[in-house]
Amino acid sequence: MRFGGLVALNDVTFSVKKGSVLAVIGPNGAGKSTLFNVVTGVYKPTAGRMTFDGADITSKPSYEVVRRGIARTFQSSRLFSDLSVLDNVIIGMHTRTKTGVLDALFRPGASRREMAACVEKAEALLQAGSGDLYEQRNRPAGTLAQADRRRLEIARALASQPKLILLDEPSVGMDDKETDALVADIKRLRSGHPELSVILIEHDMRVVGAFPEHVMCIDYGSRIAEGSFETVRANPRVQEAYLGKAAAHA
């Protein structure tokens, strides 16, 4: 992915197995969020190819990417702050619902039944993810604590029934207790959806270490290491990327 003369991503090749977690690490400005934006259709890649579930999704628009089964969260909150927690989750189902304007006008009974089913599914998602969030389901999303906002964003992404979910720094702004709760939430999510794949961008190494099987480090837009968490964090190039050359050698 190029922006003028800047190469933001340079042949970042990787794969994710069904039901697995890939943690993507790297210093600020390494290209991690750009990678998510390319995968989810926010950016059209300058070159290269992406396949998902056997289909080429290169340069597909975001709505088509979601429809094919990829959902994401963002570093900064993208919630509808004035709407309720429950409404935010229901909005995440928009690619899976059938009611349109004409249906609402001329088939109100079917529209009401579909909405009732959406409410039931949304409540089930909130209960499965966090009991505290379910209890706050009628509150405006903008009044939630930071940790609950991140949980809500994950619940809304799950509402689209994805096969792959991309979590962009989900622990940002959390204290240690909230981060531990987030790790427990992700583990609970994987237990309840064993075929769901996860790509996780994280700076908190405690979160990365909780899912140590598959870690990729990128720096200056290039993949510099990949493997288990222990293997990657011991890599001299990774240590240089985070600490600087002199500190890494020391």
Considering all CA atoms of the chain, what is the largest pairwise distance in Å, rounded to the nearest integer?
73
Q: Confidence band (pLDDT; 50, 70, 90) for 69?
A: very high
pLDDT > 90? residue 242? no
What is the pLDDT at residue 57?
Answer: 95
Q: Confidence band (pLDDT; 50, 70, 90) for 94?
A: confident
pLDDT > 60? residue 222? yes
Q: Confidence band (pLDDT; 50, 70, 90) for 59?
A: confident
- Greater model confidence, 116 or 206: 206
pLDDT > 70? residue 98? no
Beta bridge partners of 158: none
List the domains of the chain with CATH numbers. Answer: 2-69+162-249 (3.40.50.300)
pLDDT > 90? residue 40? yes
Report the distance separating Cα 160 and Cα 52, nearest Å: 16
Q: What is the mean pLDDT of residues 143-159?
A: 91
Q: What is the mean pLDDT of residues 168-179?
A: 90
- 89-98, 214-223, 230-239, range with the lowest pLDDT: 89-98
- Greater model confidence, 249 or 140: 140
